[in-house]
Chain A
């Protein structure tokens, strides 16, 4: 899908949005979203409709069961004994659970079948079914299931209007690759009809430009080298070139995903809607846990709330924790549920990326390191306390950032390779067969990035780093720009447009890459 067409669709939708009175603006958004979805994936429409309607109806039923129970408890408050009240609550929960499981199973099965059917067929040696993954199915399924679970947990009342709920599920900017919105934060903004605001318009535009810059100028320029390195025959390149490929993949993936998120966040902001944050300069993280709190934040928090905590608080895990307490001590017992939860969550995240060995290994790699970190936390704390001067120094901070960067990049070997065995082979080459002499501009050009493109890429990466560093120090760059005088603001915007228009990878003769997360 053309990024320009998404941005253009956003601009047109924004204009139409503000042309209508506030009370009709949610309808404009719904129609825009339907048009967007139908225009790009008409055949996927039944799937999103099925998820929307089943979730809306399931949540409605869960809400009604709760309302009836509450009404009965209120009406018969004086007559009921505690046991009877508990019995009613238990019955209510049980009836709600039926709807919850029904809708969960339906939608998760739909996602699983569409996503993994061909992988499973491949594993059992059968011919693939050739199912096309419906556009945005992961993201809208996660978003819908989050809503359903929240309603089940009584966090908020269900939405009675199916059209308003459909807007929450299908809001077009975030449909392709997130962020995964929460109903209580997103729905009110979609429903209320936001007032026109120049600041939102300007800051949204700037964010769109920044997103396009990251995606089209940096990510898509680095892509040919990444593809060449990771599709090369085993042994063709030594460790030096492989490491360059992994570093480029780091850059490409981050700019692709975060650039796309900036783009959709900017489009939403122009309509006065604040989407959930999804990135917070992840390569400045000081630990792997910190990294995952900065990378794909909306998925991480979804997993935390709907998988990690529910799992860690299950009775078997609690019993295991208690059993460990006697044998390994209190610290270990406290950390054990978190450690197991992390392994489960990252295993699921790995499988969500794809049911292939590389993704499963990538998930386990992250989960095991995080589990180890959780279990070792008391040791780290003690070490930090004993070496507080060093632990608090800038140099140690930089060391931790670099250490995390290395750990994350080792994980990318698994994320990017097609098979786990390939990742191990490339890691092995990296460690045992460096071949530094191979790393020349000529080789880089052969890998698809010519000298001029390489120089431009380095320059843009330096700019990205500088902006990120400033942001990391607490400066909100867009606020800084919007507070400048009109000449500076215009100059920044015009330079942004010029940079994307000239240096962006687009048009015929270029394989304008779609977003990496589009496929998930």
Chain B
């Protein structure tokens, strides 16, 4: 070939490289950052994780890996995502296992009865996968999940028609050009190891627990992918724990959960059905919506239960104090700071009381005599909830035990319509209650003479657990 032709070929190759580079850059810039913000940190040091969590929204909001680190020294990452079906969870696990070698996988089975591989918002499916670089496993995941011509997203688009957007995400996100912010360049890293706290208190509907010998027929892709997940973990020597997170499950859903139990038995896999163990969470205060997605109060209880279970049955090593895991202490500082910030941001009484279940801060709660609060079952339960102990051994627990209503002083104050003051000293691990005149005296000592402004009846001071410094003081 002539020299000129070679030059042309070289020019063209350079052009193609520049084009690819430009498109790659644009793709990164335009991409909705939900996926990289939430899960991007997973790829930083994936070999450190002992436990990986997979599931749908119930697990995103219901399991906080940094709490496991704080209490048990367990290193985990929550790779659950809103709207995940079992097939999506399976493929999320398969992609994660390309990078990590966990000792245990914990999989939520709440959506096992869904009969489509993908459904709901296509953005959620993007969130589950966008942060992974293109790989053979990712391609297999996309090809498998998008092969159902009947699967549609919330807006009526066929997933099979949108498959290309999972390879070429610019096709999905290019229209974000008018809404770019500096965070599209810097990113906002999730410090909760994949989890997300959703703040709110919404009493969930009541439900009846059915007998454990009523099973749903094992049909649909959910059960199929659950089996694939179990078999994959067993083939790789990874421990597996299945969990059915708490919510007011219908009879059909409970029958589905019982079927999961029988599958777990078949494979000799551990299974926790929180719907049957209904004493771990309190649906009156532990959910942020009536579908019973857990708020941080409920999530802390579930996380603690799972943490104790993992420590007891899977023998996971406590890495606290291990120099190789010093980065987790740093990460925990960021996590704790974010929690404190979240707590201090709450300007609704029920949300703040709910958040004070978290023992990462101390607090003083002063209630005026004859307060309206005394007539609100929800607020009283939330007050009790600030000091509730976590339940682990479900069999030894009664819904009506004293630990559901640990604040006896509060009961007295309500009876007498008297002032009440609660000190939650998490540094010392003490709870102090004051009723009537004692409460007013203690409140004056803490807040000065003007304890409550006119029209206000509750005053809450949030205090740094370690230093004792006031972080926030708000009246309601």
Contact = CB atoms under 8 A, between A and B. Distances in A.
B264 interface: no
A518 interface: no
Interface in A489-515: 490, 493-494, 497-498, 501-510
Contacts of A494: 18-19, 22
Contact of B162 (A456, A486, A505, A508): A508
B224 interface: no
A486 B18 CA distance: 13
B26 A502 contact: yes
A509 B126 CA distance: 14
B174 A498 contact: no
Contacts of B171: 506-507
Given A198-B8, A508-B165, A501 B170 contact: yes
A452 interface: yes
A502 B174 CA distance: 5
Contact of B165 (A456, A501, A507): A507
Contacts of A486: 11
B397 interface: no
A453 interface: yes
Interface in B108-163: 122, 153, 155, 157, 161-162
A497 B18 CA distance: 11
B467 interface: no
Contact of A508 (B8, B23, B26, B122): B122
Given A507-B175, A508-B172, A509-B157, A498 B22 contact: yes
Contacts of A504: 174
A507 B165 CA distance: 8
Interface string B165-192: 1000011101101100000000000000
Contacts, number: 52
Q: Which size bracket describes the interface of B in this complex?
A: 20 to 34
Interface string A472-497: 00000000000000100010011001
Contact of A490 (B15, B155, B157): B15
Interface residues of A, number: 21
A132 to B, nearest CB: 21
B365 interface: no
Contacts of B174: 501-504, 506-507
Contacts of B26: 498, 501-502
Contacts of A452: 177-178
Q: Do most interface residues of chain A lie in helix, strand or loop, or is the interface mixed?
A: helix
B458 interface: no
B28 to A, nearest CB: 13
B243 interface: no
Nearest to B178: A452
Contacts of B23: 497, 501
B414 interface: no
Given A498-B22, A501-B23, A509 B155 contact: yes
A510 B161 CA distance: 13
B175 A509 contact: yes
A494 B157 CA distance: 31
A504 B175 CA distance: 8
B30 interface: yes
B166 to A, nearest CB: 11
Nearest to B174: A502
Nearest to B27: A501
A163 B375 CA distance: 89
Q: Which of B8, B11, B22, B174 has the most CB of A within 10 A?
A: B174
B216 to A, nearest CB: 33
B21 to A, nearest CB: 9
Nearest to B122: A508
Given A508-B155, A509-B157, A502 B22 contact: no
Contacts of A503: 174, 177
Nearest to B4: A198
Contacts of A456: 178
Nearest to A5: B164
A326 to B, nearest CB: 67
A505 B162 CA distance: 15
B15 A493 contact: yes
A262 B153 CA distance: 35
Contacts of A506: 171, 174
A128 to B, nearest CB: 26
A505 B177 CA distance: 12
Given A198-B8, A501-B170, A507-B172, A453 B22 contact: no
A504 to B, nearest CB: 7
Contacts of A493: 15, 19
Interface string B1-39: 000000010010011001100110010001000000000
Contacts of A502: 26, 30, 170, 174, 177
Contacts of B14: 490
B161 A508 contact: yes
A453 B177 CA distance: 10
A490 B18 contact: yes
A456 B174 CA distance: 14
Nearest to B153: A508
B9 to A, nearest CB: 10
Given A198-B8, A509-B157, A509-B175, A497 B19 contact: yes
B124 to A, nearest CB: 13
Contacts of A490: 14-15, 18
Contacts of B165: 507-508
Contacts of B153: 508
A100 to B, nearest CB: 46
Nearest to A490: B15
B11 A510 contact: no
A40 to B, nearest CB: 15
A198 B6 CA distance: 12
Nearest to A205: B15
Nearest to A491: B18
A452 B170 CA distance: 19
A509 B177 CA distance: 15
Nearest to A201: B12
Contacts of B8: 198
Interface string B30-65: 100000000000000000000000000000000000
Given A497-B19, A507-B171, A508-B157, 16 more contacts: A456-B178, A490-B18, A493-B15, A493-B19, A498-B26, A501-B23, A501-B170, A501-B174, A502-B26, A502-B30, A502-B174, A503-B174, A504-B174, A508-B172, A509-B155, A509-B157
Interface of B: 8, 11, 14-15, 18-19, 22-23, 26, 30, 122, 153, 155, 157, 161-162, 165, 170-172, 174-175, 177-178
Closest 6 CB pairs of A and B: A452-B178, A507-B171, A508-B157, A508-B162, A502-B174, A502-B177
Interface of A: 198, 450, 452-453, 456, 486, 490, 493-494, 497-498, 501-510
29 contacts: A452-B177, A453-B178, A490-B15, A494-B18, A494-B22, A497-B22, A498-B22, A501-B23, A501-B26, A501-B170, A501-B174, A502-B26, A502-B30, A502-B174, A502-B177, A503-B174, A503-B177, A504-B174, A505-B175, A507-B165, A507-B171, A507-B172, A507-B174, A508-B153, A508-B157, A508-B162, A509-B155, A509-B157, A510-B175
